Amino acid sequence: MLCMNDNALHTVAARIREQAAAYCESDNVPGFVAGVYHAGEQIVVAQGTANVATGAPMLDDTGFLLGSVTKVLTTTLVLRQVDRGLLDLDTPVVKHLPDFALTAPGAADKILVRHLISHTNGIDADLFFPDAKGHDALKAYVTGLASNCGTLFEPGEQLSYSNGGMIVAGRLLEEVTGLPFHDLLARDIYGPVGMRNSSTSAEQAILRSTAIGHFLDPETMTAKPTNMFTLPDTWGPAGGTPIGTIADLLAFGRTHLAGGVSPSGTRVLSAESTALMQRVSYDTQSPNTPPMGLGWVLYPFGDTTVLAMSGASPGGVSILCVLPEHDLVFAAYGNNPGAIMLQDQILRWLLSEHLGVRIPRLVTETEQDVDLTPYMGIYRSNQLRIDVSIVDGLLEERTTYEPADESQERIFTEFTGGVTSGPPQRYVPIRPGLFAPAGYPLEVFDGYLRLLLVSYHDIRDGQACFRNGGGRLTRRV
């Protein structure tokens, strides 16, 4: 006989199955899998196809690339070493990694351990893809920073989503523990959390049911499999290689619900460190960039905070959300990038309908008489250029990838399904410094997709110094 919560989760499962079936059919997302843990009960729902080339179905226990959700696992590993006394968050990284350097002399010396995992390090390496394999991959990545990557800002002065910071954190973990990152991840996270079906390589994943990513073929308008399963080993700690299941992610989320204690009762992280990860470490005070904890992004939905991280992989996207105030964890994966829209729909439904959380409007209206001239110009970060102009009274952005070499170009284009530049995107002003992509209803931005909003910061001499899109900064040149 079902208890009240069983009935509630039965309704949740039916709702997710209905939404996933409709979305997969209409939006060329071949497969989708999601799970919810709430107050002691758990459901997992799978829909569609894991691999269109083989016809393999998406199952409840199908594995998938965690993508940037891995960043919360990496941060948990860092805090485990803090608990053990091997690391101090306020120690310069170079104390443990004396070879860590950037193109600007002395810049790396200012970066503290906490800057790596709070995305406040300023390392300009978001699209730096050195192609190295094996146990020395992270060492090769850090070595490559010195001649390839500079800084966006002084450590602690700004917030910019940082793949480079997490990868340096992974190399730091190797140095202080003496273990390769993937071995440490398996020993100190997968094992004690109970992530029994998680792995760290394609070689391991091929031994079990595993989904692959897909992109929309512009000629046939159907989903085609990705040509690249994982990013290089150099991106492991940022989300390039770890693979898991929905049940595994729910177990990890439940560990953070329970103050660092896994569902099996194993202490993974101290209560103090678990709470520290959930505490605001930096807040840009801009609607398009939620406050950042350590590892977690802290999304405000009215009075409720959602600890979240999404993860892009070649042709796929995952998400993990933890709601400490409601004892709930939500995890999902879809094997086409467009699945992020479905994940946002389900999250908002869980909040408003299942939990009764009132979600206030983030953007209620646009503003007509905003001076657009401070935002015009060229903005750059690592291998990325954004040209901002005024067209028909709106801001227009043109984004172009400018590869550093053939290897970088190959990896990036395979990761994006062959795209090196986006079509021009126009933006309507919400207020000075904050813009929404034209053509979207404003209610879209109430949820996770507030990341689609663009903001401009640090006006000097009538010009913005930084553009912020999706939490990532580019700097005016």
pTM: 0.96
- With a CB cutoff of 8 Å and minimum separation 6, the contacts of 282 are 118, 119, 120, 159, 291, 292
Residue with the larger pLDDT of the pair 28 and 142:
142
Q: Please state, for a pLDDT cut of 70, what percent of the chain lies above it.
A: 99
pLDDT in tens, 106-136: 999 999 999 999 999 999 999 999 999 999 9
Residue 5's pLDDT band (cuts 50, 70, 90)? low
pLDDT in tens, 312-350: 999 999 999 999 999 999 999 999 999 999 999 999 999
Mean pLDDT calculated for residue range 167-187:
98
Mean pLDDT calculated for residue range 250-276:
98
The pLDDT assigned to 74 comes to 98
CA distances from 361 to 301, 302, 304 (A): 9, 9, 14
Mean pLDDT calculated for residue range 138-142:
97
Residue-wise DSSP of 35-82:
EEEETTEEEEEEEEEEETTTTEEP-TT-BEE-GGGHHHHHHHHHHHHH
- With a CB cutoff of 8 Å and minimum separation 6, the contacts of 362 are 287, 445, 446, 450
> In 3D, which of 315, 288, 294 has the Cα closest to residue 444?
288
- Pairwise CA distance, residues 342 & 55, whole Å: 22
The pLDDT assigned to 368 comes to 86
Q: Domain spans of the chain?
A: 1-360, 373-476
The pLDDT assigned to 6 comes to 59
pLDDT at 464 over 90: yes
The pLDDT assigned to 451 comes to 93
DSSP 8-state assignment for residue 393: T
Question: What is the Cβ-side half-sphere exposure of residue 192, based on CA atoms within 13 angstroms?
Answer: 19
> In 3D, which of 156, 406, 180, 398 has the Cα closest to residue 281?
156
pLDDT at 2 over 50: no
Q: Quickly name the fold that domain 1-360 has.
A: Beta-lactamase (3.40.710)
- Pairwise CA distance, residues 98 & 198, whole Å: 33
Coil/strand/helix, residue 162: coil
Q: Which two tokens stand for residue 171?
A: 């190399």
DSSP 8-state assignment for residue 292: B
- With a CB cutoff of 8 Å and minimum separation 6, the contacts of 171 are 97, 100, 138, 139, 141, 142, 181, 237
**Are residues 395 and 427 in contact, defined by beta-carbon separation less than 8 angstroms?**
yes
96-135 b/e with 16+ CB inside 10 Å = b? Answer: bbeebbbeeeebbebbbbbbbbbbbbbbbbbbbbbeeeee
Long-range Cβ pairs for the range 346-351 (8 Å, 24+): 346/15, 346/16, 346/19, 346/34, 347/306, 347/319, 347/321, 347/447, 347/448, 348/446, 348/447, 349/15, 349/19, 350/12, 350/36, 351/301, 351/304, 351/306
Listed range (4-13, 94-103, 366-375, 461-470) with the worst mean pLDDT: 4-13
Residue 220's pLDDT band (cuts 50, 70, 90)? confident
Listed range (84-98, 242-256, 402-416) with the worst mean pLDDT: 402-416
- Pairwise CA distance, residues 386 & 378, whole Å: 6
- Pairwise CA distance, residues 330 & 151, whole Å: 35
1-360 shares its CATH topology with 373-476: no
> In 3D, which of 414, 436, 419, 416 has the Cα closest to residue 427?
436
- Residue 352's Cβ-count burial label (10 Å; 0-12, 13-18, 19+) is middle
Mean pLDDT calculated for residue range 416-428:
88
Strand duo 434-437 + 425-431: pairing: antiparallel
Determine how many CB atoms are found less than 10 A away from the CB of residue 380.
Answer: 16
**H or E element, residue 396:** strand 394-401
* 382 phi and psi angles, rounded to 5 deg: -55, 110
Residue type for position 272? E
232-244 b/e with 16+ CB inside 10 Å = b? Answer: bbbbbbbbbbbbb
Class of domain 373-476: mainly beta
